[in-house]
Amino acid sequence: MDIELYSSPCNDPGDAFKTAAPQPAPTPAPAAARRVWPAMVRGALGKCPNCGEGRIFRAYLKVVESCAHCGQELHHHRADDAPPYFTIFISGHVIIPLMILVERYWAPAIWIHMAMWLPLTLFTCMALLPPIKGALVGLQWALRMHGFAGDDDVVPGTTSMDSIAP
Ligand SMILES: [Zn+2]
């Protein structure tokens, strides 16, 4: 009766070479493309750029840590000074021409200018900041910028502590 209950992989000396042969490194699966415009529109509407359901802000301009609906981490954004820059750019190109037109055709007193344009400028900027910041967070998410690619948000050649050091 010839019963082999156990076969050691080391019985054949050739097996050691077979198992030690270099294996090709597994290639990571390509990340699914993220559509830029829908992500920016969702962000501009105050929604998560990933699912479009959860809220992107927990306060006026405070971005949530992660989406309450889909769990997408949103704390990776680095909007920084871009939202105020675009807000000033847009509101300036709307309000300054209006000021010039009013002065050209009506020429009111200075105090009327002040009473009109200061509140209008303040309101316009306050209204534009959240959608512009949301759109920029959506853009960063769609382009997998910073930590949105799933990697640590570390600048090449530095450590994570270098990146956050002042
Ligand atoms: Zn979401």
Is residue 7 situated within a structural domain?
A: no
Is residue 134 situated within a structural domain?
A: yes
Give residue 53's domain range.
35-149
Measured in Å, residue 144 CA sits from the centre of ligand 1 at 15
Q: Judge residue 89's burial from the number of C-beta atoms within 10 Å of its C-beta, 0-12 exposed, 13-18 middle, 19 or more buried.
A: exposed
Is residue 17 situated within a structural domain?
A: no
In the chain, which stretches have pLDDT less than 70? 1-22, 28-30, 151-166
Measured in Å, residue 55 CA sits from the centre of ligand 1 at 8
Measured in Å, residue 38 CA sits from the centre of ligand 1 at 13
Q: Give pLDDT tens digits for 20-68.
A: 666 777 776 667 889 999 999 999 999 999 999 999 999 999 999 999 9
Measured in Å, residue 91 CA sits from the centre of ligand 1 at 30
Is residue 53 situated within a structural domain?
A: yes
Is residue 10 situated within a structural domain?
A: no
Is residue 85 situated within a structural domain?
A: yes
Q: For position 165, what pLDDT does the model report?
A: 47
Measured in Å, residue 113 CA sits from the centre of ligand 1 at 44
The total number of structural domains that make up the chain:
1
Q: Are 31 and 40 in contact (CB under 8 A)?
A: no
> What is the model's pTM?
0.73
Q: For position 146, what pLDDT does the model report?
A: 85
Phi first, then psi, for residue 66 (nearest 5°) are: -150, 160
